Structure 1
Amino acid sequence: MRIYYVLILLVSSMAFSQNGTIKGKITSNQGVVPSVTVSIQKLDVMIVADENGNYEIKDVPLGTHRVVFNFIGFKTETKTVKVTSPTPMVVNVTLQEDTMALDEVVITGTMKEVRRSESPIPVEIITQKLFKKNPTPSLFEAVGMVNGVQPQLNCNVCNTGDIHINGMEGPYTLILIDGMPIVSALSTVYGLNGIPNSMVERIEVVKGPASSLYGSEAMGGIINVITKNPSKAPELSADTFLTDWGELSVDMGGKFSVGKAHGLIGLNYFTFDSRIDNNNDNFTDMTLQNRISVFNKWSFDRNNNRIASIAGRYVYEDRWGGEMDWTSAARGGDEIYGESIYTKRAELIGMYQLPTEEKIFTQFSYNFHDQNSFYGDVPYMAEQQVAFVQTYWDKPIGENHTLLLGAAMRYTYYDDNTPGTASSDGTSNRPSETPLPGIFIQDEWKVNEKHTLLGGYRFDYDENHGGVHSPRVAYKFSPNNNNTVRASFGSGFRVVNLFTEDHAALSGSRDVIIAEELDPERSYSGNLNYVLKVPTDSFYLGFDVTGFYTYFTNKIVGDFDTNPDAIIYDNLRGHAISQGVSLNVDATFTFPLKIMAGVTWMDVFQIEENEAGDLERLQQIQAPKWSGTLVATYSFPNNYSIDVTGNWYGPMRLPILPNDFRPEYSPWFLIANIQGTKKFDSGLEFYGGVKNLLDFVPDNPIIRPFDPFDRNVDVDNPNGYTFDPNYNYASLQGARAFLGMRYNLF
């Protein structure tokens, strides 16, 4: 009898000690997904599914396990599996495509939704995920994560700046919100500040001319801020962080519904109120700021999923920089130097799809911008209003052609206290009123599965300069899913208002001389892009290389060299060129490491006849020949992760004074950041890290800071230096720690 019990116990023990098996098939809505990484982290087990999407993990201990399925382009799927016997557990998985991954939907290149891989125009994207890897208080800083896009500070006192694409200055970049040219010339400095990050779905960047669709200013590139669809946004979101410099950023958003209307509201608040002068020049290293922005967007349910949306934004900002003892009582005076800017801005944008069988859309926007500012004792008071409306027809023709036909009207009112709006004799003020009607047509011809051809043309009429023609042609060749070649050519134009676009024209340190009546600028650009995808069982590599070339005529250039006390503006008697090559590399591994890196080489210069009739080549100011970006993420167990981000730049030419002791070219430098994040299942996450980890700051950013009003230039000044704050190539903020918290309720 005892032997019987012993045998029962032995058999039972053997049964319970046996391990099990987990197996199944992995699919998506497009069929089987091969080479998916399947892992059980606590067991240190990792396998790769076969070419038919089948996987099998053997020798799994009895108990409950978290099985993770991961593959490029799909959302990571986690299954909780309870293994209770040696009998194989069948766990089939359907992966969902990751809209934040490699093949997002984009609209900017062709003015309609298309998968990124199918777009004949190359489009680069910054998603919400990328925002979080280096948190910033404004989108102005965030776009620097795109290779070849450089947020450039233009003044060491007020810290205003613009965005350079492929070395071309900010006015050549058209900034859109939901496809509308809401950011006008007056606000290129401030347009991306104050857009609540909680409202942003993604940012799309198109490098190269796009005037055939978007008209004036789209000469060098487009930055399109795509806001979230209210019906798909989180119920509540919040993101706030604080730095040890005293910067506080608060970003909040929430959605709500009223019948068939879905609303989304976002709030952004940023404040910095610490007078810091680490370089001991008696000037603030960073402007003191208070900024608040409110954004409200509504979408409406309609029959047949037709589109109807409207959104509004209001921004108020008070910023100043200057001598450490400056107060608002000294504003506009000539005793204590300060640069003080009050900005009020209101925007309204909307889209409505007509209730017809044909796909006809109407878009509209309006913005009001008021700027009350003093640069030392030099006032700049300006008001600008821009109204824009366009209607376009998206019409498929046959199986292979898609026609886009539209008309647009843009009206700009601008007034300020500068010579820019003065009468020819200078005795009266004449605000500028500029209507700019235009028509455009675009045909996208899908020749077959491998070849796509796009042609576009736009005609605009300016009352001062007559008709302007803007053609564009693009071609895409995809022999297979892993190789794509894109080529494009087009032209662009813009009419310049110096006082709204060039901060140097506002600086109290130099006089502004307009040597002649300025003609509109024109550009002719070509791009060649090649995308290579290399998927393997253990890693994925993506290569994206682009060669670009832009030729400018009538380029308006500020001459800083002829007279150190003045800036002389005229049309270039010659031409200017921006050319170069950029390379982006994406690497994702089966272990939890992701790397995105980019490098750009560019040569931006102008060629003009000098007084002797000889051609001279001059390098563009603040356009480094070499630059690059880095984003690396490593994920640890229990939802911990580390992000390392950085931007590096080669030497760039700077505006120097005659006999300047400072070098004409900046040094090589790197701005590196590190961040650690802990996520919780409740939607809460904490993060912290260090910005500008290497503590890099420029030397001697302001010349003669002790005499900002140039009262003593003849005293003990053998080189004749004058006050000049425009020698800038990087922020004066050194290393600083930050700590933040996010919450998302879905």
Structure 2
Amino acid sequence: MKKSFSLYLLLLISVNLYSQNNSIAGKILADNEVLPYANIYLKKTKIGTSSNENGYYSLKNIPNGNYTLVISSIGFKTKTVKIKFSNNKKLFRNFTLKESNILDEVVISGTLKPVTKTASPVPVEVYSKTFFKKNPAPSIFESLQNVNGIRPQLNCNVCNTGDIHINGLEGPYTFVLIDGMPLVSGLSTVYGLTGIPQALIERVEVVKGPASTLYGSEAVGGIINIITKKPSSSPALTTDSYISSWGEVNTDLGLKYKLSQKSQGLLGINYFNFQNRIDNNNDGFTDLTLQNRISVFNKINIERKSNKVFTIAGRYVYEDRWGGEMDWQRKYRGGNVKYGESIYTNRWETFGTYQLPTSENINFQFSANGHYQDSFYGTDAYDAEQFIGFGQLVYNKQLKEKHDILLGVAYRYTFYDDNTFATLQEDGVTNKTSITHLPGIFLQDEIHLNKQNKLLIGARWDYNSLHGSIFSPRLNYKWNSKDKSNIFRFSIGNGFRVANIFTEDHAALTGARKVEFEGELQPETSWNTNLNYVKKINTENAFITFDASAFYTYFNNRILPDYETDTNKIIYANLNGHSVSKGISLNTDITYTNGLAINLGATLMDVSITENEIKTKQLLTESFSGVWSISYRFKNNLILDYTGNVYGPMRLPLLGEKDTRAENSPWYSIQNIQLTKKFTNSWEMYGGVKNLLNFTPAANSINNSLNPFDVGIDTEKNPELAFDPSYVYASNQGIRAFIGLRYTLF
């Protein structure tokens, strides 16, 4: 009897062990890319794991039964799947998570350290790589056209260079970073926004309003932080290439590789080419600048025994672009036979972060870039060389439970030389290279008053070797309801900027007008206040987010180009008065469970200049702008995207009262539609139409285009007859079709 019972017990244990040999394994994906560190578990059990750096997961020894498998990750919608296990079942299943606009994305731009978007006392807008795929573009400059409150502004009708406006403030007030490092500044404000391989962009963070307390000079209007992918979480290979009916060719390539067991790299290459001479408005000039550009980006992460961060990256950009008369040739470069604007650009960048091997959290961050430019604007040569080196130590310390301290010391070195009078000595003959030293120190205390209230106090002191001490304080307050469905933020802060006109304002380079400076330009300062309210509503069929802001910025010593005092000149001087930028903006995100997603945004603003008690509207600044993105995902992996923007009238620079061109731009809208078909997790095809309404500016935007060298014209007596390409607010590129193909190898 005892033997029989023992045999029965042994058999029962064997069967039970056999029944627990079920397993499931596979990869977690998001937007055709592997998703590392996602959570995978069986509901109401202790069986669970996380996907590794390659997105792979595995659950073993699962008893027989019916289960709910849950897959979740921050920033993505949680997925649940019903699964039955029995008889030693071994499953291999891949799961794809969809991005969610309502979860807490991790952001770094507002406080210089990783925090969830909801917890940040500074309002940060986050735009994922999926957002930019809805309207593919060859550069981040064009990609930002559908972000609320941001407008890519063309500054030249001929060479088509431009900058990015935030809430009506010109490009030099926008600080562009890559992975938190200040790379796109100075000369690259005009030329450095192209050639960033979009296949490597993970997300873009936008902060509107001064951020000089953390980022120093130039962060007056706001910051745009381009976050690139981590090598550990990137697919093995990504390619994205498209062509347009105008003849544009753009190709992005991303490749992950291993240098050793403890170091991984990510290589990105972007190539853009456009060589068609098109003149649809019949003004004798190219509607779109001809371009040939290649950019190479490389990022390396090195694993350390202490798990501390060590990453280093670099980028090289070469571009050859020209625009001008349709029959212009290279042999005419710099001459007065045919007018052309020809620009050769060589640019390199490097940046990185090294976490010191100490018990405290101390990071050393560094960046450097060199920019070399050989260009002609008609007969005017502009040769420039710029080098910027930057380094900072950042110490982060949690004191008790309420104080999160951030302390940093920074140093920035700027070398600039060109062939203009901006670098001449007083004798007007000897060249004087501009060298600026900018050491600084900043302190920030994020105070957790309680679970619903947070206060951030910060201050920065910089010493500019040319202008002396500059102090920048800021204060931020955040309140949220207990369920975090209501968030209120208030901020007030100071910004400053030391200007170099020739490196930041392309209008100063055009050969059409003479440039003059009135007195020595002093640093600009501004005070900004911002109110932000976020409301989240979750229903059975939709997730809704309302984000509303009111902003007010007051400038002293503002530097503005004066086109109107003398229409033959551009006069730069510190404003003898003040300037104000104020307005309100609203963003709405609605994500329906049936596959429909809607993003709407609108900004109403008033940007004015008051000098000698006379108030005028700022040139090239719209009073209203709106953006939208409407997407629908069909069940057969077909995605429809309809994106667009609309802008109100802008005051434009005229050549006096007799100028026949309109004083204000019209209302206009750029709209795009795209269809995307996903065939497998690797292959994806897309195509559509850009500028559906075929909007282009008036044909006479370039004044007197038939006589670009003003032959036989006294422009002093008759300024309205002068050649002038600075009257520009939108691209001359009309409607066009495009088709592209993406491939991803995991």
2:704 aligns to what? 704
Q: What is the CA distance between 1:540 and its match in structure 2?
A: 2.0
Q: What's the CA shift string for 1:570-607, capped at 9, x where partnerless? A: 11000000000000001111221100010000100110
The code of the aligned residue for 1:218 comes to A
Preserved CA contact (<8 Å) 2:42 2:70: no
Decide which of 504, 509, 516 is 2:507's aligned counterpart: 504
Q: What's the CA shift string for 1:384-430, capped at 9, x where partnerless? A: 00000000101110011110001000000000001111001212000
Preserved CA contact (<8 Å) 2:101 2:589: no
Q: What's the CA shift string for 1:138-197, capped at 9, x where partnerless? A: 011112221001101011100010000000000001111111111121110122200111
Preserved CA contact (<8 Å) 2:608 2:618: yes
Preserved CA contact (<8 Å) 2:196 2:295: yes
1:657 aligns to what? 655
TM-score by length of 1: 0.87
Q: Distance in 2 between matches of 1:178 and 1:648?
A: 30
Preserved CA contact (<8 Å) 2:166 2:208: yes
What SS class does the counterpart of residue 118 from structure 1 fall into?
coil
Say whether residues 1:417 and 2:419 are aligned partners. Answer: yes
Say whether residues 1:442 and 2:440 are aligned partners. Answer: no
1:646–1:499 CA distance, 2 compared to 1 (3 A): same
1:680-691 correspondence to structure 2 within 5 Å = 680-691=679-690
More displaced stretch, 69-78 vs 334-343? 69-78
For structure 2, which runs of at least 5 residues remain unmatched after alignment? 1-37, 44-67, 87-93
The code of the aligned residue for 2:156 comes to C
What SS class does the counterpart of residue 551 from structure 1 fall into?
strand
1:623 aligns to what? 621
The code of the aligned residue for 2:201 comes to V
Q: Distance in 2 between matches of 1:448 and 1:143?
A: 37
What SS class does the counterpart of residue 495 from structure 2 fall into?
strand
1:183-582 correspondence to structure 2 within 5 Å = 183-257=184-258, 258-480=260-482, 481-582=484-585
Q: What is the CA distance between 1:464 and its match in structure 2?
A: 1.8
Q: Distance in 1 between matches of 2:681 and 2:495?
A: 49
The code of the aligned residue for 1:130 comes to F
What SS class does the counterpart of residue 674 from structure 1 fall into?
strand
| Percent identity between the two aligned chains | 55
1:393–1:97 CA distance, 2 compared to 1 (3 A): farther
1:239–1:78 CA distance, 2 compared to 1 (3 A): farther
Q: What is the CA distance between 1:273 and its match in structure 2?
A: 0.2
The code of the aligned residue for 1:375 comes to Y
Q: What is the CA distance between 1:682 and its match in structure 2?
A: 3.5
Q: What's the CA shift string for 1:179-218, capped at 9, x where partnerless? A: 1111121110122200111121111110001100110111
Q: Distance in 2 between matches of 1:109 and 1:689?
A: 36
What SS class does the counterpart of residue 422 from structure 2 fall into?
helix
Preserved CA contact (<8 Å) 1:701 1:727: yes
Q: Distance in 2 between matches of 1:718 and 1:114?
A: 59
Say whether residues 1:730 and 2:736 are aligned partners. Answer: no
Q: Distance in 2 between matches of 1:394 and 1:99?
A: 30
- Residues paired across the two proteins, number: 673
Q: Distance in 1 between matches of 2:245 and 2:578?
A: 47
Q: What is the CA distance between 1:537 and its match in structure 2?
A: 1.1
Q: Distance in 2 between matches of 1:695 and 1:595?
A: 24
Q: Distance in 2 between matches of 1:276 and 1:67?
A: 57
The code of the aligned residue for 1:192 comes to L
What SS class does the counterpart of residue 481 from structure 2 fall into?
strand
What SS class does the counterpart of residue 144 from structure 1 fall into?
helix
Q: What's the CA shift string for 1:9-48, capped at 9, x where partnerless? A: xxxxxxxxxxxxxxxxxxx979999xxxxxxxxxxxxxxx
Preserved CA contact (<8 Å) 2:531 2:549: yes
The code of the aligned residue for 1:158 comes to C
Q: Distance in 1 between matches of 2:457 and 2:686?
A: 47
Q: What is the CA distance between 1:103 and its match in structure 2?
A: 2.0
Q: Distance in 2 between matches of 1:95 and 1:445?
A: 38
Preserved CA contact (<8 Å) 2:334 2:378: yes
Preserved CA contact (<8 Å) 2:190 2:505: no
The code of the aligned residue for 1:736 comes to R
What SS class does the counterpart of residue 503 from structure 2 fall into?
helix
The code of the aligned residue for 1:727 comes to Y
What SS class does the counterpart of residue 304 from structure 1 fall into?
coil
The code of the aligned residue for 2:196 comes to I
2:745 aligns to what? 745
1:549–1:110 CA distance, 2 compared to 1 (3 A): same
The code of the aligned residue for 1:391 comes to L
Q: What is the CA distance between 1:712 and its match in structure 2?
A: 2.8
Preserved CA contact (<8 Å) 1:100 1:127: no
What SS class does the counterpart of residue 110 from structure 2 fall into?
coil
1:117–1:550 CA distance, 2 compared to 1 (3 A): same
More displaced stretch, 685-694 vs 509-518? 509-518
Q: What is the CA distance between 1:98 and its match in structure 2?
A: 4.6
Preserved CA contact (<8 Å) 1:395 1:403: yes
Preserved CA contact (<8 Å) 1:453 1:476: yes
Preserved CA contact (<8 Å) 2:102 2:545: no
Q: Distance in 2 between matches of 1:329 and 1:391?
A: 50
Q: Distance in 1 between matches of 2:520 and 2:457?
A: 34
Q: Distance in 1 between matches of 2:96 and 2:732?
A: 46
What SS class does the counterpart of residue 129 from structure 1 fall into?
helix
1:140 aligns to what? 141
Q: What's the CA shift string for 1:296-316, capped at 9, x where partnerless? A: 000011123210000010000
Off by >6 Å, runs of 4+ in structure 1 = 28-33, 66-72, 80-84, 93-97
What SS class does the counterpart of residue 191 from structure 2 fall into?
coil
Q: Distance in 1 between matches of 2:635 and 2:97?
A: 23
Q: Distance in 2 between matches of 1:95 and 1:183?
A: 35
Q: What is the CA distance between 1:72 and its match in structure 2?
A: 11
Q: What is the CA distance between 1:661 and its match in structure 2?
A: 1.4
More displaced stretch, 583-592 vs 356-365? 583-592
1:694 aligns to what? 693
1:673 aligns to what? 672
Q: Distance in 2 between matches of 1:124 and 1:102?
A: 13
Q: What is the CA distance between 1:290 and its match in structure 2?
A: 0.2
Q: What is the CA distance between 1:79 and its match in structure 2?
A: 4.3
1:47 aligns to what? none
2:179 aligns to what? 178
The code of the aligned residue for 2:741 comes to M
What SS class does the counterpart of residue 694 from structure 1 fall into?
coil
Q: Distance in 2 between matches of 1:416 and 1:95?
A: 53
What SS class does the counterpart of residue 282 from structure 1 fall into?
coil
Q: Distance in 2 between matches of 1:463 and 1:735?
A: 50
1:106 aligns to what? 107
Q: What is the CA distance between 1:94 and its match in structure 2?
A: 11
Q: What is the CA distance between 1:95 and its match in structure 2?
A: 11
2:151 aligns to what? 150
Preserved CA contact (<8 Å) 1:346 1:367: yes
Preserved CA contact (<8 Å) 2:41 2:70: no
Q: Distance in 2 between matches of 1:526 and 1:373?
A: 40
Preserved CA contact (<8 Å) 2:413 2:435: yes
What SS class does the counterpart of residue 77 from structure 2 fall into?
coil
The code of the aligned residue for 1:722 comes to A
| CA RMSD, 1 decimal | 2.4
1:71–1:231 CA distance, 2 compared to 1 (3 A): closer
More displaced stretch, 186-195 vs 234-243? 186-195
Q: Distance in 1 between matches of 2:278 and 2:317?
A: 26
